[in-house]
């Protein structure tokens, strides 16, 4: 419930304008609720209509993506790009290929991206895109034809100084490569229009690892500063087994933790000895197979069907790295009951509002997605910098910058939580700290009449 009348009015307008878009409304509500204390002290926000403007995308593009499958049949998918806010830099954000993609999902992701990108300290606005195309079971040639068709339309709306997409669920180096190739053919120019590129054509070292590594750097710093603790000796449960989950597993293990579970959309594995990441990488990155294959190679491990059971495994730290709303109230209660003290989010909006309430009521150290998973887009920002400089930094240099950025994000979120009278509530802190920079830029840039 909103106490502030301005916030209440803005939220009601968003509800009326975006009927039935549950994910988008969830993301907006959380940010607006976090802003209560700040908005009370800043009447200029209402005078200049900052909130009314920040909840409305600058541009929302929807387009047809027609492509031919291997059987010669024409398939039609729906493509999207939301260019949500460019106050502090060109639109920046990933592309998601998953059958669940719709306008609400794209808008929630684009809205979150505004504040996440602001938190990185780099000059990037918020955007997101994707399609309801399902990459599962498609041949490499089908993926290529889809990506080329998708880019044929998307290329009309993006550019290195306008909007720079990257990967997200279902989009990794392979898809970025096909899209980059098509953009170059269409425009006859070689620019850093996409990030997450391969190393041989303008990619950055550490970008593949960046979201998972960054999540662990953020978590380690939070543990250090808020609990005088660290990953060392901890039992960790990580959901998903894609880009973010794999590199979170790698870094958490390097930092001395034992990761005992991973999942995909079919089920989860529990390996009490600590998961063997080489086996997981072979299954997921080389074979693009199901996580259930793991138990064939590591017979001492268990496989269970279904996703939510993973949250009943006892752990000290949970890192959800699969998808939105994967932890509901019941799962959050199970985590707490089994001793989990830390939940930091690699996925975007993986916890329902009810789950977040459970964390906060039980003193769980909660690292919200837009702070904890910002390492991916931050390193994309570093890829853009290297492309502009026409240079490539070493692994050590990019990794050091990423660590610095993640530590800064934690401290900015923590300090903002204190300033708002909500010490240690990193959700409030991240929302406020991310918002202030964007709002200040919007105030400075004026309203077009």
- Name the minimum Å distance from CB 344 to ligand 2IT: 15
- Contact flag: residue 92 with ligand 2IT (CB under 6 A): yes
- Contact flag: residue 377 with ligand 2IT (CB under 6 A): yes
Please give the size of the binding site for ligand 2IT, defined by CB under 6 A. Answer: 11
Catalytic member of 92, 107, 116, 128: 128
In sequence order, the 6+-apart residues with CB closer than 8 A to the CB of 396 are none
322 interacts with, out of ligand NDP, ligand 2IT, none, CB within 5 to 8 A per kind? ligand NDP
Piece of the chain touching ligand 2IT by CB under 6 A; list 214-222, 375-383, 394-402, 419-427: 375-383
264 interacts with, out of ligand 2IT, ligand NDP, none, CB within 5 to 8 A per kind? ligand NDP
- Contact flag: residue 380 with ligand 2IT (CB under 6 A): yes
Radius of gyration of the CA atoms of the chain, in A: 21
- Name the minimum Å distance from CB 39 to ligand NDP: 28
Please say which residue, 127 or 429, places its beta carbon nearer to ligand 2IT. Answer: 127
92 interacts with, out of ligand 2IT, ligand NDP, none, CB within 5 to 8 A per kind? ligand 2IT
Instruction: Examine the residue annotation and report whether 128 is marked as an active-site residue of this protein.
Output: yes
Please say which residue, 250 or 380, places its beta carbon nearer to ligand 2IT. Answer: 380
- Name the minimum Å distance from CB 68 to ligand 2IT: 28
- Contact flag: residue 370 with ligand 2IT (CB under 6 A): no
- Contact flag: residue 83 with ligand 2IT (CB under 6 A): no
Query: What is the binding site for ligand NDP (CB under 6 A)?
Result: 98, 167-170, 211, 240-245, 264-266, 307, 321-323, 346-348, 373, 376
Please say which residue, 287 or 395, places its beta carbon nearer to ligand 2IT. Answer: 395
Measured distance CA(310)–CA(343) in Å, rounded? 14
Which of 93, 170, 240, 368 lies at the binding interface for ligand 2IT (CB under 6 A)? Answer: 93
Measured distance CA(333)–CA(328) in Å, rounded? 9
- Name the minimum Å distance from CB 170 to ligand NDP: 5
34 neighbors 114 (Cβ within 8 angstroms): no
81 neighbors 129 (Cβ within 8 angstroms): yes
195 interacts with, out of ligand 2IT, ligand NDP, none, CB within 5 to 8 A per kind? ligand 2IT
370 interacts with, out of ligand 2IT, ligand NDP, none, CB within 5 to 8 A per kind? none
320 neighbors 344 (Cβ within 8 angstroms): no
Q: What DSSP assignment string belongs to 66-131? A: EEE-TTS-EEEEEEEEEEEE-SSSSEEEEEEE-TT--HHHHHHHHHHHHHHHHHTTSS-EEEEEEE
242 interacts with, out of ligand NDP, ligand 2IT, none, CB within 5 to 8 A per kind? ligand NDP
First to last CA, the chain: 33
- Name the minimum Å distance from CB 368 to ligand NDP: 12
- Contact flag: residue 376 with ligand 2IT (CB under 6 A): yes
- Name the minimum Å distance from CB 138 to ligand NDP: 13
Piece of the chain touching ligand 2IT by CB under 6 A; list 35-43, 87-95, 147-155, 267-275: 87-95
Q: Where does residue 85 rank: exposed (0-12), middle (13-18), buried (19+ CB within 10 A)?
A: buried
Tell me how crowded residue 185 is: count the other CB atoms within 10 A of its CB.
12
| Alpha carbon distances (Å) from 23 to 61, 87, 102, 172, 325 | 18, 23, 10, 24, 9
In sequence order, the 6+-apart residues with CB closer than 8 A to the CB of 185 are none
Provide the 3-class DSSP secondary structure of residue 261.
Answer: strand
Measured distance CA(273)–CA(276) in Å, rounded? 9
- Name the minimum Å distance from CB 216 to ligand 2IT: 16
- Contact flag: residue 283 with ligand 2IT (CB under 6 A): no
Which of 331, 348, 417, 431 lies at the binding interface for ligand 2IT (CB under 6 A)? Answer: 348
Measured distance CA(432)–CA(110) in Å, rounded? 17
Q: Are strands 258-263 and 267-270 parallel, antiparallel or unpaired?
A: antiparallel
Residue among 299, 361, 350, 355 nearest 331 (CA): 355
Q: Which residue is nearest to ligand NDP (CB)?
A: 242
Piece of the chain touching ligand 2IT by CB under 6 A; list 141-149, 155-163, 306-314, 374-382: 374-382
Residue among 161, 197, 163 nearest 179 (CA): 197
- Name the minimum Å distance from CB 419 to ligand 2IT: 25
Could you give the maximum distance between any two Cα atoms of the chain, in Å? 67
Token pair for residue 290? 């199901």
Please say which residue, 380 or 417, places its beta carbon nearer to ligand NDP. Answer: 380
Residue among 129, 127, 125 nearest 117 (CA): 125
Q: Which residues are catalytic?
A: 128
Binding site for ligand 2IT (CB under 6 A): 92-94, 116, 166, 168, 195, 348, 376-377, 380
């Amino acid at each position: 419930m909103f106490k502030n009348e301005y916030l209440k009015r803005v939220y009601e307008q968003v509800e009326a304008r975006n009927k039935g878009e549950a994910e988008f409304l969830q993301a907006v509500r959380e940010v607006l609720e976090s802003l209560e204390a700040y908005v009370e002290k800043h009447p200029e926000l209402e005078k200049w209509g900052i909130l009314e403007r920040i909840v409305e995308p600058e541009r929302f593009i929807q387009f047809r993506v027609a492509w031919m499958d291997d059987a010669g049949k024409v398939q039609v998918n729906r493509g999207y790009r939301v260019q949500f806010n460019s106050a502090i830099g060109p639109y920046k954000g990933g592309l998601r290929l998953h059958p669940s993609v719709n306008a609400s999902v794209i808008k929630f992701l684009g809205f979150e991206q505004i504040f996440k990108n602001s938190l990185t300290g780099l000059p990037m606005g918020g955007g997101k895109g994707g399609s309801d195309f399902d990459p599962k079971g498609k041949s490499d040639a089908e993926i290529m034809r889809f990506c080329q068709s998708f880019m044929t339309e998307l290329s009309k709306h993006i550019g290195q100084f306008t909007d720079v997409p990257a990967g997200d669920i279902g989009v990794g180096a392979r898809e970025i490569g096909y899209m980059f190739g098509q953009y170059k053919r269409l425009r006859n120019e070689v620019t850093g229009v996409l990030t997450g590129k391969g190393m041989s054509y303008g990619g950055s070292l550490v970008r593949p690892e960046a979201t998972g590594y960054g999540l662990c750097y953020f978590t380690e710093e939070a543990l250090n500063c808020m609990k005088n603790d660290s990953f060392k000796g901890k039992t960790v449960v990580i959901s998903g087994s894609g880009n973010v989950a794999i590199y979170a597993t790698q870094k958490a293990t390097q930092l001395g933790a034992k990761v005992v579970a991973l999942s995909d959309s079919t089920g989860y594995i529990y390996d009490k000895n600590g998961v063997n990441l080489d086996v997981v990488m072979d299954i997921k990155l080389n074979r693009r197979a199901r996580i259930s294959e793991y138990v064939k190679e590591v017979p001492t491990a268990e496989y269970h069907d279904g996703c939510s059971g993973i949250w009943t495994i006892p752990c000290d730290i949970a890192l959800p790295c699969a998808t939105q709303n994967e932890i509901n109230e019941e799962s959050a209660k199970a985590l707490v009951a089994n001793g989990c003290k830390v939940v930091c989010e690699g996925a975007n909006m993986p916890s329902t509002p009810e789950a977040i309430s459970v964390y906060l009521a039980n003193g769980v150290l909660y690292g919200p997605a837009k702070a904890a998973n910002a390492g991916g887009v931050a390193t994309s920002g570093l890829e853009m910098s290297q492309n502009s400089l026409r240079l490539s930094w070493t692994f050590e240099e990019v990794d050091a910058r990423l660590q610095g950025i993640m530590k800064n994000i934690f401290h900015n979120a923590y300090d903002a939580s204190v300033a708002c009278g909500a010490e240690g509530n990193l959700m409030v802190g991240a929302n406020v700290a991310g918002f202030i920079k964007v709002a200040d830029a919007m105030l400075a840039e004026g309203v077009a009449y």
